[in-house]
Amino acid sequence: MSNITTNKEIKKVLFIGAGSNDFGREAEHDAAIYQVMPELRGHGVEVFVIDENPYALSLESLAATTFWQQLTVENIKKIIREHHIDTVAPLFGGQSSLRLWAEVVQSWAYGDGTMPNTLGLSIDMLLKVNNLPVLTAFMSEHGLPVINNYVLKAQDEANELLRELQLPLMVRALHPNQTNTRHVVERLDDFEDAINLAKVQSVTQEVIISRAINGLKEVSLEVLRDFRGNKMQIGASEDMDPIGIHTSDSLSVSPILTIQDQLIGKMRDYAFRVADMLQLQGIMHVQFAVDDETRRIYIIKVSPYIDQMATRMALATGYPTMLVAVNLAMGIALEDIVLPHNFGVNAAMMEPMMDHVVVKLPVFPFGELSEAGVSVKRQLNSVQKSIGTTLGFGRTFIEALEKAIRSAHFNNASFSPTNMANINDDELIQQLIHPQDNRVLLLIEAIKRGYEIDELAELTAIDEFYFYQLQHLHTLEVEIEADTDNIESLRRGKRYGLSDGLLARFWHTDFNIIRTLAKENSINVSYKAVEPSAGEFPENARQYYATYETENESVQIHDNAVLVIGSGAFRMGDAASGGYATTITLSELRRLQYPTIIMNNNPSDATLLPHLADKQYLEPLEISDVMRVVELEKPQFIVIPGNRRKLIKALRNLGQRVVILPKERHTPNGPNENQSEFALNLFYDGHDSYPINLTQHMAGEMRIIPQIAKMPDDLLATHIDNPGVYQVIWYQNTTHWKEHVDTSNIGHDTWLRPMPFGQVAYLTKAMQIQWIRLTIRAATNEMTEEDNAMLSTINQRLTTEQIGVIASDVNYRLHLQPSKVIDGTRFEIGVSVKHYG
Amino acid sequence: MMKRHLILEDGTIFQGLGFGSPATTFGEIIFHTAMTGYQEIITDPIYDGQMIVFAMPVIGAGGIHAEAYESVKPTISGMIVHDLAEVSVNRQRRMNLDRFLKQHNIPGLYQVDTRQLIRHLRETGPQKATIVDYADEHAVDQLVATVLTNKQVQNTATPKPYANPGRGRHIVVIDFGLKHGILRMLGDYDANVSVLPYTTSVEEVLTLDPDGIILSTGPGDPRTLPESVLTLIRVLQSKVPMLGIGLGHELFALANGAELKPLPSEHHGMNHPIQEIISRQIFYAMQGQGYAVDGETINRKKLFVTYRDLVDGAVQGLRHREFPAFSVQFFPDAAPGPLEATAVFADFFETVEDYVEHYN
Amino acid sequence: MANKEVLDNASLQRALTRITYEIIERNKGGQDLVLVGIKTRGEFLAHRIASRLEQLEEVKIPVMAIDITNFRDDVLNHDDSLGLNDEERTNIADKNIVLIDDVLFTGRTIRAALDALIHIGRPKTISLAVLVDRGHRELPIRADFVGKNIPTAQNEKIKVFVQEIDGRDAVEIVH
């Protein structure tokens, strides 16, 4: 039995989407599927995709037959049966999709017909990957360094292990009679007690011992393998935060800065051996725990599928990751991969090199929750608490860090430096040992108070390098602050990525003054390309980031380009809908043949996919960042989400034409448990309003009311500023789904608002009408006859299929330990389709 | 830190801040795209007298480590980086990159727009350069007047034989300025190593009764070495299994009648796919080369091409048709660089074992 | 109990590569070369070596497979068909044959193969290439090309896995 999948056998491929968004599951999988489906189609393969997420772009792809259905074993089997699917691609949908496909495989019965192949992994390996103890044992058999768990009963067995494994050790109870029995033993004296305690805590008096790895460095490698066994490394990153803090919650840096070549080489070798062991055809993320001093390395996680590391590395390096990954899965050898012409001839085979630094910062939901009076446990640990990701690009660590902070934390009060001064020394030490989301500022505060670097490195298990860097930043800030209006200071500050806003605060002035001062003194931004050869070869790059150096590589792309301002990180409330709206906007502008430019910093959604725009700026989205791009590109207009009021005003003041994507700053409200929120939905094309339909929203669920919507007369007179989808909403105390609502009295106790993007995505899929595309057409005067005809009768069209959406069951207790129940309607993270009736 | 200047022979001037030694320096400037192993790279004798520009934006974050030396004394003429990280990881001596370069009298320059410099150098190719305090006419004249040495092998190779004893096979290393990685690899096989000057005679080598011969890496142009070296190779390759590496590979090619040609662009890095022709397997290795064996000049009746760089097509390995003698242009000692390339040493030792078994 | 891997995928590939180079070294470019694989795994190894020769020399080297089950000296009833057609039988006359097998153990298999080859034609030379030589010879036979010498105890078993049938390349000692 050969594991080699060849092209010829593959005719119909089904992609399994990742499902609704959740902690650790932003839109990266959907972005990957959305990107690779047309590539497969280009290979002459018929493509199918199933997902339940209303924000899934892949479900709106023209390259595939799409199924907006709940991700269940039955639904998948049905599609396979009815469409004669011969191959299933679960690896692009990540772990949840792999698990689901493993369930399908395990429940496959004689009557189900021939089981389709799995793209990229054999069934045998797929099942191994899906079973952690089996996978760990498999790696151990192959001589790979994994953390083994030893189960034992007697003290003398424990003593043997102590000598073999050495301290520190993790001791916990097998079959525990209480929740947390983990105990890290660092001193010999504690060993016996820990064993005895764990025995008491175990129903069977058995103890699990393993090596403790808390405090070690966490490193990630991204590798590829083709069917011939050729392997390459396409990215690597190190976490500043030690193991013990979930990697998604860690500050991560690419390239690896603090670990020596020999250790990285070893990790690369291990990752390659895992890829060979799994006979992988595709992409894999391997996570390691590294002990610099003893030079020990442990493999802590193996993910042979798309995850956030994959999409982050693709963006950080400019390597065509997804296109290559899908070719490898199809059984095409590395050397035979043909890439679109904008990539170098050998781009697929060259390991990407970086001449810039990329810092990833997580985005936490704490701010939004505390505004709503929900307090949560902010202390970071091995359970993920962040929900979003942003990247900062720069030529130094400090510059990249400053930009990542600006991308991740604008408007976040806990990041205010003044906040830090109020922390007393005891709290400071407590927080150094038990870090929270704002630990970077805390570290700077500790340096400010004169803690020694050795001491801090010891307390926090963070590499000294980072403290030297933060110390450097602190010195820089102090010097600049003391040196008001000094041009050399300004130059130094800009070089290290300090924003106009921050410099303005130091010098007690306005950011516009700083901007002008910089301009007058030729302190100009220079954009550098993100391309995978690090300058070795002439590039045809589309991605740029700002820095302050001599040579600028970015020139105006076109006289008539359109600049789209992205929505930034995945945040609570907006969930993935912001990225969805931005991506569709780009796609529609491209269809209308506008040269497009996107500015954004979120690696986990589709907005920065290379094929979606003619040019990308990987930048924070503060006013000064946008202004600099506008000055260079002189776009014919700028598309901005409506909630960016200050930015809109600033751009209009500069005489820029602004197209607004109607959106309100998210105000967390929605129906409470005893209420329904009703909406009369309408489209405004710039001249007239057209009623669309009516929807009912109960806590956690939304449906379309089967009733023809009519526009009340008083509403026709209401002035709306920008084209788009709007709704008039009102509340009623009812918890029953309505077949009909009275709209005669509308205008009383109701209000008009832009329809949240989440609902726009729902209506788009349920009605099969592309509302965001229509909005863009209306805003650019590109509406067609058909559009007008459609709009004038749209309210007559009653959806026969009963499709609603439902908030998914996010485990807030596990992740955030909130003080009270978090309402999924108000703090939406994930949504999925629900067929009712 | 003081403002200093880098002047290129073509007149281009870059400004930066000085670190390391404050001396004025001259050398051929090249760029390196490797993202790891700066310490190994600056101590590798193949870069004797050269000035290295690093594409890696942050250099120095790992400090200086005892186990990462590729020679006892670094002999590069300068180091140009974007961001210099001030880290002291060596607890006894508080050694960092800045101090290390000062100690060895090597000037460095940082806060340079290295991406601009590299994009410039990829067009012009390597050229003479100088790091000075003031970029005045005098400095430019000095640079133009400077003649760089072509005696790099003599500068770095051992003048005297020495041993690195082990209990395994006896391997003679002919030294052209070897990097420590080769000895480290031989140590992994517990080889009993004799390192000999390249001026050693055939008789002297054979008297030592070696099980295998390694022609080491080294700096500069192999064509500046005496003809006797090629004769030595021609005789030894027919008697004992042989592995040539880097400069040793180029010499092995020359000894068998092939010629060298300059690469369209120099390549110093570890990201090019190298293909083993016989198996079509692709792997990656540290490479540092301005020249390659000209494929057109290879006598196919004598030599095979065994490896190729898939990016520029350059010959990366040769093998003799009749003798157990082969060579690689890339560096298989993985110091720094990908470990997969170390398979070349496994090949060599298997060949040695096989040879011992069959012919002794 | 887990088997012990003595050759992994990479070292198995390297062994085949080295054998190929040595075949060339000793056959001066491979004129009149015919590779004969002993079924089952020897046949796949022969094809691997042939494709390596082809990559390197850009010539196609003939490969044939023989099934010597019926030629073993411990099996009665010699059947001389060997699964070969007439053309293949004449092919080997005056050729330089490289006989290829996965494991060299007692030597009896090789002896049977030699008998068979001489029986069907008169090759110029016959040399022997094996992936693994595990010792314990009962006949005066030695291999010209050896991938790896693996000293074994009599009671141990060596198992060769090849991609074509086993889905992976490896050599293991089976307990």
Domain boundaries along the sequence of chain B:
3-148, 153-359
A217-225 and A46-51 as β-strands: parallel, antiparallel, unpaired? Answer: unpaired
Same domain, A77 and A190: no
- CB-based contact (8 Å) between B319 and chain C? yes
Tokens of B287: 């490479």
Domain with A25 in it: 7-130
> Nearest C-alpha of chain C: how many angstroms from B236?
17
In CATH, what number is assigned to the domain containing residue A338?
3.30.470.20
pLDDT of A625 reads 93
Verify whether the Cβ–Cβ distance A2 to C164 is below 8 Å: yes
- The pLDDT-based confidence of A5 (bands split at 50, 70, 90) is very low
pLDDT at B94: 65
A520-531 pLDDT, tens per residue? Answer: 999 999 999 999
Percent of chain B at pLDDT > 70 equals: 98
Q: Is the pLDDT of residue A472 over 80?
A: yes
Residue A571 phi, psi (nearest 5): -130, 160
Answer whether CATH 3.50.30.20 is correct for domain B3-148.
yes
Cβ distance of B279 and C13 shorter than 8 Å:
yes
The number of helix segments (H) and strand segments (E) in chain C equals 5, 8
Question: What number is the average pLDDT over the span A627-645?
Answer: 94
Q: pTM for the complete prediction?
A: 0.94
Higher pLDDT, A201 or A51: A51
Taking a C-beta distance cutoff of 8 angstroms, is the pair A145, A297 a contact? yes
Chain C interface test: which of B279, B306, B321, B339 (most C C-beta within 10 Å): B279
Q: Least CA distance to C13: which residue of chain A? A: A229
Q: What number of helices (H) and strands (E) belong to chain B?
A: 10, 21
How far does the CA of residue A3 sit from the closest CA of chain C (Å)?
Answer: 6
Max mean pLDDT range (A397-411, A414-428, A469-483, C69-83): A469-483
Helix H or strand E encompassing A638: strand A637-641
DSSP, res A473: H
> For the ranges A117-121, A171-175, A754-758, C170-174, which has the lowest average pLDDT?
A171-175
Rounded Cα gap, residues A47 and A85, in angstroms: 9
Residue B275 contacts C, CB cutoff 8 Å:
no
Q: Mean pLDDT throughout C142-152?
A: 91
Residue A3 has pLDDT above 50, yes or no: no
Q: What is the tally of structural domains in chain C? A: 1
Indicate which of A231, A240, A260, A290 best probes the interface with B, i.e. most B CBs within 10 Å of its own CB. Answer: A260
Task: Say yes or no: A203 and A221 in one domain.
Answer: no
Cα distance between residue A164 and residue A255, in whole Å? 35
For chain C, say whether A276 makes contact (Cβ under 8 Å): yes
Task: Note the Cα C19 to chain centre separation in Å.
Answer: 11
Shared domain for A23 and A63, answered yes or no, is yes
Q: Which two tokens stand for residue C151?
A: 């000293």
User: In DSSP terms, which residues pair with A729 in a beta bridge?
Assistant: A679, A751
Contact C168 A141 (CB under 8 A): no
Write out chain C residues lying below 8 Å of A1, CB-based.
167
Tell me what percent of the residues of chain A surpass a pLDDT of 70.
96
Task: Place A408 in a pLDDT band, splitting at 50, 70 and 90.
Answer: confident
Contact B62 A268 (CB under 8 A): no
Closest chain A residue to C166 measured between Cα atoms?
A1
A142 vs C contacts (CB less than 8 Å): 5
Both A60 and A167 in a single domain? no
B238 touches chain C (CB under 8 A): no
Residues 6+ positions from A112 with CB-CB distance below 8 Å: A77, A80, A81
Residue C70's pLDDT band, with cuts at 50, 70 and 90, is low
- Do A179 and A276 share a domain, yes or no? no
The ipTM (two decimal places) reads 0.97
Question: Tens digit of pLDDT for each residue in A185-197?
Answer: 888 888 888 899 8
Task: Give the whole-angstrom CA distance, residue A407 versus residue A417.
Answer: 16
CB A2 within 8 A of CB A76: no
B315 chain-C contacts, CB cut-off 8 A? none
pLDDT at A782: 95
Structure tokens at B283: 């792997």
**Alpha-carbon distance C143 to nearest alpha carbon in chain A (angstroms):** 29
What's the rounded Cα separation, in Å, for the pair A44 and A37? Answer: 11
In angstroms, the separation between the Cα of residue A235 and the nearest Cα of chain B is 11
Specify if A363 maps to a domain. no
A403 is a domain residue: no
* Architecture field, domain B153-359: 3-Layer(aba) Sandwich (3.40)
- C-proximal residues of B, 327-346, CB under 8 Å: 343, 346
B279 near C CB under 8 A? yes
Cβ-Cβ contacts under 8 Å between B and C: the total is 46
**Which residue type sits at A356?**
H
Please answer whether residues C146 and B354 qualify as being in contact, where contact means their C-beta atoms are separated by less than 8 angstroms: yes
Q: To 10 degrees, what angle do helices A645-653 and A623-633 make?
A: 40
Mark yes or no for CB contact B340/A230 under 8 Å: no
* Consecutive H or E run containing A550: none
Contact C167 A1 (CB under 8 A): yes
- Pair (A819, A694) in one structural domain: yes
Confidence of residue C122 (pLDDT cuts 50, 70, 90): confident
- Measured between CB atoms, does C13 come within 8 Å of chain B? yes
A125 and A224 inside one domain? no
Give chain B positions within 8 Å (CB) of C52. 278-279
Distance (Å, whole) CA B57 – CA A50: 43
**How many domains are there within chain A?**
5
Contact B276 C17 (CB under 8 A): yes
Claim to verify: residue A82 and residue A168 sit in the same structural domain: no
Q: A 368-397 residues with CB below 8 A of B?
A: 395-397
**Residue A412 reports pLDDT greater than 80:** no
| Average pLDDT along chain A | 90
Q: Domain containing C154: what range?
A: 4-24+33-174
What CATH number does residue C103 fall under? 3.40.50.2020
SS3 C164: helix
User: How do residues A525-569 score in pLDDT, each as one tens digit?
Assistant: 999 999 999 999 987 889 999 999 999 999 999 999 999 999 888
- Say if residue A341 is in the same domain as residue A222: yes
DSSP assignment of A369-390? HHHTT--------SS----EEE
Are A86 and A161 members of one domain? no
Q: Which two tokens stand for residue B154?
A: 């003599």
3-state secondary structure of A28: helix
Closest partner CB to A2 (pick from C2, C9, C167) = C167
Buried b (16+ CB within 10 A) or exposed e, A321-355: bbbbbbbbbbbbbbbebebeeebbebbbbbbbbbb
Task: Tell which phi-psi region holds residue B14, choosing left (phi > 0), alpha (psi between -120 and 50) or beta.
Answer: beta
CB contact under 8 A, C167 and A141: no
Q: What pLDDT is recorded for position A178?
A: 75
Residue C1: per-residue pLDDT? 46
What pLDDT sits at residue A2? 36
Task: Say yes or no to pLDDT of B223 above 90.
Answer: yes
Judge: A257–B281 Cβ closer than 8 Å, yes or no: no
Phi, psi of C149 (to 5 degrees): -85, 125
Q: Do B339 and A268 touch (CB under 8 A)?
A: yes
**Cα–Cα distance, B237 to B232 (Å, whole number):** 9
Last residue of a domain, one of A354, A386, A416: A354
Rounded CA separation B146/A70 (Å): 74
Number of H helices, E strands in chain A: 28, 30
Q: Is the pLDDT reported for residue A700 higher than 90?
A: no
| Residue in C closest to A140 by C-alpha | C2
Predicted confidence (pLDDT) at residue A745 exceeds the cutoff of 80? no
Q: Which of C126, C159, C171, C123 is nearest to C5 (CA)?
A: C171
Which residues have a Cβ under 8 Å from the Cβ of B249 and sit 6 or more positions away? B215, B293, B317, B318, B327, B328, B329
A555: domain CATH number is 3.40.50.20
**pLDDT bucket at A589, cuts 50 / 70 / 90:** very high
A268·B338 Cβ contact <8 A: yes
Distance CA A93, CA A105 (A): 16
For residue A670, what pLDDT is reported? 72
In a domain, A46, yes or no: yes
Which residues, other chains included, contact B158 with Cβ-Cβ below 8 Å and sequence gap of 6+?
B175, B195, B197
pLDDT tens-digit map of B97-123: 999 999 999 999 999 999 999 999 999
The closest CB to that of B324, out of C11, C25, C52, belongs to: C25
Closest alpha carbon within chain B to A529: B115
Mean pLDDT of chain B: 94
Alpha helices, DSSP H, located in A386-438: 397-408, 417-421, 425-433
User: Are A634 and A684 in a shared domain?
Assistant: no
C-alpha angle with apex A146: A145 to A152, nearest 5 degrees?
125
Query: Is it the case that residue C74 has pLDDT exceeding 60?
Result: no
| Token reading at A46 | 């018929």
CB-closest option in B277, B350, B351 to C55: B277
Same-domain pairing of A781 and A718:
yes
Residue showing tokens 């091995």: A382
Amino acid code (one letter) for B195 = V
Which of chain B's residues have a Cβ under 8 Å away from the Cβ of C25? 321-324
Least Cα distance to A657 among A578, A722, A579 occurs for A722
Task: Search chain C and give the residue with CA nearest A122.
Answer: C167
Cβ count within 10 A of residue A623: 19
Q: Which residue of A has its CA nearest to C170?
A: A277
> How large is the average pLDDT for residues A480-500?
90
Q: Which of C166, C160, C175, C174 is CA-nearest to residue C8?
A: C160
Q: Cα–Cα distances in Å, from A88 out to A8, A655, C19?
A: 15, 52, 40
Going through A155-216 in order, the beta strands assigned E by DSSP cover 169-173, 183-185, 207-211
Tokens for B150, please give them. 């072509």
According to DSSP, the β-strands at A615-618 and A543-547 are parallel
Residue A399 lies in a domain: no
Q: How confident is the model at residue C80 (pLDDT cuts 50, 70, 90)?
A: low
Which residue pairs, CB below 8 angstroms and at least 24 apart, start in B185-193?
B185/B332, B185/B333, B185/B342, B185/B345, B186/B214, B186/B345, B188/B345, B189/B345, B189/B349, B190/B166, B191/B166, B191/B349, B192/B163, B192/B165, B192/B166, B192/B167, B192/B168, B193/B163, B193/B164, B193/B165, B193/B166
User: What is the C-alpha to C-alpha distance for residues A503 and A162, in angstroms, rounded to an integer?
Assistant: 55
